[in-house]
Amino acid sequence: MPILVKPLDYADPLAIRQKRLPHWRQDGCAYFVTCRLGDSLPAHTLRLWAGARSNWLQLHPSPWTDAEALEYHERFTEAMERHLDAGAGGCALGHPGCARAVVDTLTHGNGTEYELGSFVVMPNHMHLLVLPMPGIDLSALTGTWKLISARRINRITGRKGRLWADDAFDHIVRNAQELGRIDAYIRRNPEKAGLRPGTYALGGSTDGWTFLPSRLQ
């Protein structure tokens, strides 16, 4: 049975929640999510990135053109990925047992609370594609994933305290073309970062994910 995904539609209700970063929410949409470890980015790097991103968003209110969406990802998503792929911090997730703890956490609710697509657990962050079930809040999901996986990893490593950064980066997948691009990025991420087998975990699939027709077409 196909998994039906709604394309982003600016004509439908769109919730924008603000913590340190804005989070867009629309029922039926899939999301590209990045969660990073708390020591994965220097504080000054994150402040500069967030400030530049906030200024850009003020100058480019939604809805975005395709060119604006591309510019956003080149300036901010790809810039953040380069920082994370550099491998800063303790890189606790590079331990196979810790990576497995994250995978077990992600797959636990698959098919009941959400549909889990492609995912990769890198040494200091993870990427995933996810489609929450109706009534399931994405922010609650990411909070639960981080809480449970941190407990498991702390038991494995004997560490204490907070593991993950407070916030998560998430992006509504606009259409099937963008889904394909993100899926390919996730799968190539370990090779692009020069990681050795055993220092990351790659899995999941978006096979069977089918986008509903867009009203903009």
Q: What is the pLDDT of residues 61-114, one digit of tens each?
A: 877 777 887 788 788 777 778 888 888 889 999 999 999 999 999 999 999 999
Three-state DSSP class for 24?
Answer: strand
| Residue 61: inside a domain | no
Q: Check the CA dihedral 210-213-216-217 and report its sign.
A: positive
| Residue 45: inside a domain | no
| Residue 32: inside a domain | yes
pTM over 0.75: yes
Burial group, residue 130, by CB count within 10 angstroms (0-12, 13-18, 19+): buried
Of the listed ranges 48-57, 104-113, 129-138, 156-165, the one predicted with least confidence: 48-57
| Residue 34: inside a domain | yes
Q: Which residue has the higher pLDDT, 159 or 152?
A: 152
Q: Side chain identity at 60, as an amino acid letter?
A: H
Number of domains in the chain: 1
Q: Please, are residues 36 and 179 in contact by the beta-carbon 8 Å criterion?
A: no
CATH of the domain at 185: 3.30.70.1290
Render pLDDT for 119-135 as a digit per residue (tens, 0 to 9).
999 999 999 999 999 99
| Residue 99: inside a domain | yes
What is the span of the domain harbouring residue 159?
3-40+91-211
| Residue 78: inside a domain | no
